[in-house]
Structure 1
Amino acid sequence: MSITENIVDANQYIINDEPYYEPVDQEIALYESAYAVRMPMMIKGPTGCGKSRFVEYMAWKLGKPLITVACNEDMTASDLVGRFLLDKDGTKWQDGPLTTAARIGAICYLDEIVEARQDTTVVIHPLTDHRRSLPLDKKGELIQAHPDFQLVISYNPGYQSLMKDLKQSTKQRFGGMDFDYPKEKIEVSIVAKESGVDVETAEKLVQIAHRARNLKGHGLDEGISTRLLVYSGQLIAKGVSPLAACSMTMVTPLTDDPDMRDTLNAAVETFFG
């Protein structure tokens, strides 16, 4: 059997259009400094607060390819690293996203890393210390990461548990950045810009979100994310009534509990009733 390899064009992973991102603090400058020394980065924050958008924005700003992996509990080391495949021409080695990123000098973003099994995340260790290498045991190859390669991981600390957490041996290989929902004025600006609604409507949506976030741990597992506010604003901008838009995007996705839904709907009616 013949063995062939896939050749990847790094340009397909370049972000050509600037993603909209509203700075909250010094995160852009801090990340640029971390990338300058190729420090692996760990970004922590609640669902829908802008972690992935920030990574996309930084990849665009730095002009580097970005390869994103949505981690899940069924993901194996081979899904990250690669595997041999059989086709009509024989046996072909197919690089996984982590291997591709290491070869071409991309930023590899592992989203919600804690969802992956711990035996899977161990494969990233050699790439996150002085070695900056990735052993392909099945292929008998040791890849030295491209000088531009950087590894970024993210997760939501609110969903941490003993079964879903990173080992200290993994955590202490990364620099860390904490993300949270933006301050009110910035979040209003984001919602208005991203959804197309007027500032007054965006302010009302943000106020509803603030009330809901106070219920986290008191009936809600997670507060209303900035992402959901944008969804709601987009529907309103398309002519959907605010009550219907908010119910569809800010109430129904969050909870199935009738009492909690009544509480959230009451908050919506306070501003749009």
Structure 2
Amino acid sequence: MKNQSPYYKAIGKEVEVFEQTYASKIPFLLKGPTGTGKSRFIEFIAHKLNKKLITISCHEETSSTDLIGRYIIKGAETVWLDGPLTTAVKEGAIIYLDEIAEARPDVIVAIHSLTDHRRELFIDKLGETIKAHEDFMLVASFNPGYQKGFKELKPSTRQRFIAVSFAYPKATLEAEILVNETGIDANTAKKLVNIATKIRNLTELGLTETVSTRLLVDAAKLIHNGLPKRLSVEVAIVEPLTDDLEVIEALKDLCNLMI
């Protein structure tokens, strides 16, 4: 039996754009803040296209070796082990490099020949060049607002991708997502979205990140499972946003009035 499709509610033409991008064999870049549905979208679209999805969560230690592969000791032998990028290139999978700007610069260098007309991967340690499978697709995500000016994608890299911006859904759509994801009642979902909208507009608090749809889903799950509403909002929305005690108290007061 076919696995159930991940729930995803389109906010624009992103599904249509991705399908045409895939058919055109052009890399795809998802831009937007944390928790706006970028990862869920790629899970949904891979399922829709019936393609294997390999996800790599990039961080400051992620190197090209991690993606391409390495030699390992196996018994008395030294054998080559393909990395996830090499596997995707050979098998024709969709590889998703989540938060690509967080990775080391050599990762960008390694994927360059896969993001232009060549569609090939050079494995330096083997002295081999592999042509990408017909169905191979490179997808990456990037949060332009996070630590702006510190970890940016170069224009020469950006221009190798078709790019779509993801933002927080409209209030009615976001509430619908909460209901579908968690089973929470529509009225409580609307209140949670109102809280998120209010906090997102409080730029004077200086929050590094604001309330994501993901945080709202977490709060809704707790409420649906029986945790008191105010406590659910405190631990799922307020506390993850900041460690500043004064800001926490201000947010708690605000949320208590709205929930």
With the shorter chain as reference, the TM-score category is over 0.9
Post-superposition offset of 1:257: 1.2
- Match for residue 181 of structure 2? 194
- Match for residue 101 of structure 1? 88
Normalised by the size of structure 2, how large is the TM-score?
0.96
CA distance in 2, matches of 1:168, 1:151: 18
Post-superposition offset of 1:267: 2.1
Post-superposition offset of 1:259: 2.0
- Structure 2 segments unaligned to the other structure (5+ residues): none
Match of 2:233 among 238, 243, 246: 246
Post-superposition offset of 1:255: 0.6
CA distance in 2, matches of 1:194, 1:247: 20
Query: What per-residue deviation string (whole Å, max 9, x for no partner) do you get for residues 191-245 of structure 1?
Result: 1111121000000000000011012463211211000100000000111000110
Match of 1:29 among 16, 34, 42: 16
Post-superposition offset of 1:261: 1.1
8 Å CA contact retained: 2:205, 2:247: no
- Structure 1 segments unaligned to the other structure (5+ residues): 1-14
- Match for residue 166 of structure 1? 153
CA distance in 1, matches of 2:235, 2:182: 15
How do 1:34-113 residues align onto structure 2 when only pairs under 5 Å count? 34-113=21-100
Change (3 A) 1:126 1:226: same
Number of aligned residue pairs: give it: 258
RMSD: 1.3
Post-superposition offset of 1:18: 0.5
Matched, 1:124 2:111: yes
Post-superposition offset of 1:160: 4.3
Query: What per-residue deviation string (whole Å, max 9, x for no partner) do you get for residues 46-95 of structure 1?
Result: 10010000001000000111000000111111001101111115121111
4+ residue runs of structure 1 moved beyond 6 angstroms?
none
% same residue: 49
8 Å CA contact retained: 1:214, 1:223: no
Query: What per-residue deviation string (whole Å, max 9, x for no partner) do you get for residues 111-162 of structure 1?
Result: 0001012222210000000100001110121110000001000011111433
8 Å CA contact retained: 1:224, 1:250: yes
CA distance in 2, matches of 1:38, 1:119: 23
Normalised by the size of structure 1, how large is the TM-score?
0.92
Matched, 1:259 2:246: yes
8 Å CA contact retained: 2:101, 2:152: yes
Change (3 A) 1:41 1:132: same
Q: Structure 1: which amino acid aligns with 2:11? A: V
Three-state SS of the structure 2 residue aligned to 1:252 is: helix
Q: Structure 2: which amino acid aligns with 1:203? A: K
CA distance in 2, matches of 1:161, 1:228: 22
